[in-house]
Chain A
């Protein structure tokens, strides 16, 4: 089920996507910053390569799961820092991607929990989504590819947290149902069933934002 990560595609920003902001707070003064490769520990243990290979998917999961570009950036930073600290615990019995996803999911869930506690927000009753019915006519059609990110985020924001997570994980072609099941601590059959309902709920909601 593994598929190589796409690389080097053209990027288009919209409001739902983060803008690249130079990080002046971490940049040393002088003629110019040293290259990342010069940083001690970055290339040791091949961590630079790990970041290169997985940062896009980790950032994307955090972005769409949290729905906030700044929080997603901070979360991705924290995830890779945690991964670095725990590299010695990585036993290699799962793929590096799966291991990083686990750290990301735990981190993002903690953030959401803290945020929800602070704001006293509850997700809509999950049972409402069980009966979601989508029109079959061009359900996933977008007129402008530019609007795609915004509409996806709006749609994911109103879905139950579990549906959101399952959809984001299954969209990664490197992830099998079994790996997703292990990550989300349920059986592969349960994942399949919930994904079926999650897709229906997504499509029904997506159409509302036309």
Chain B
């Protein structure tokens, strides 16, 4: 193979690999909403928060039941 051709082929191959790498890393979103949904899905609620809420609720008196809870209780 002509050394010039081989060099050109190698260069093209490297460029393709580089471009593919960029495509893998980049992420495009069709809309602002889609982007925010992705962000929300990646955002973790602090694990300690559930216990903190539960502890606070444990110190609360039982709240009055809503109409639908009273309704279900009658059935």
A residues with a Cβ closer than 8 A to B are: 6, 9-13, 17-18, 20-23, 26-27, 33, 36, 39-42, 44-45, 47-48, 51, 55-57, 59-60, 63-64, 73, 76-77, 80-81, 84-92, 138, 140-145, 148-149, 152, 167-168, 170-173, 198-199, 202-203
Residues in chain A near residue B33, CB distance under 8 A: 167, 170-171
Asked if residues A59 and B49 are in contact (CB atoms below 8 Å), the reply is yes
Residues in chain B near residue A76, CB distance under 8 A: 45, 49, 53
**Other-chain contact of A84, B30, B43, B51, B63 (Cβ < 8 Å):** B63
Asked if residues B64 and A88 are in contact (CB atoms below 8 Å), the reply is yes
Given contacts A92-B66, A173-B37, contact A40 B58 (CB under 8 A): yes
Given contacts A56-B43, A84-B60, A86-B63, contact A143 B25 (CB under 8 A): yes
A167 to B34, CA, bound (A): 11
Residues in chain B near residue A86, CB distance under 8 A: 63
Residues in chain B near residue A11, CB distance under 8 A: 42-44
Asked if residues B58 and A73 are in contact (CB atoms below 8 Å), the reply is no
Main secondary structure of the interface of B (DSSP, over half): helix
Asked if residues A89 and B66 are in contact (CB atoms below 8 Å), the reply is yes
- Which chain A residue has the least Cβ–Cβ distance from B62? A41
- Which chain B residue has the least Cβ–Cβ distance from A27? B51
Asked if residues B45 and A77 are in contact (CB atoms below 8 Å), the reply is no
- Which chain A residue has the least Cβ–Cβ distance from B29? A140
Asked if residues B46 and A18 are in contact (CB atoms below 8 Å), the reply is yes
Given contacts A60-B40, A84-B63, contact A36 B49 (CB under 8 A): no
Given contacts A86-B63, A138-B28, A140-B32, contact A51 B40 (CB under 8 A): no
Q: Is B56 an interface residue (CB 8 A)?
A: yes
- Which chain A residue has the least Cβ–Cβ distance from B50? A36
Given contacts A18-B46, A141-B26, contact A41 B67 (CB under 8 A): no
Asked if residues B45 and A55 are in contact (CB atoms below 8 Å), the reply is yes
A121 to B44, CA, bound (A): 30
**Other-chain contact of A92, B44, B57, B65, B68 (Cβ < 8 Å):** B68
A84 to B52, CA, bound (A): 14
**Other-chain contact of B43, A42, A63, A203 (Cβ < 8 Å):** A63
Asked if residues A42 and B57 are in contact (CB atoms below 8 Å), the reply is yes
Residues in chain B near residue A47, CB distance under 8 A: 57
Top 7 closest pairs, chain A to chain B, by CB: A23-B48, A171-B36, A88-B64, A140-B29, A11-B44, A39-B54, A60-B40
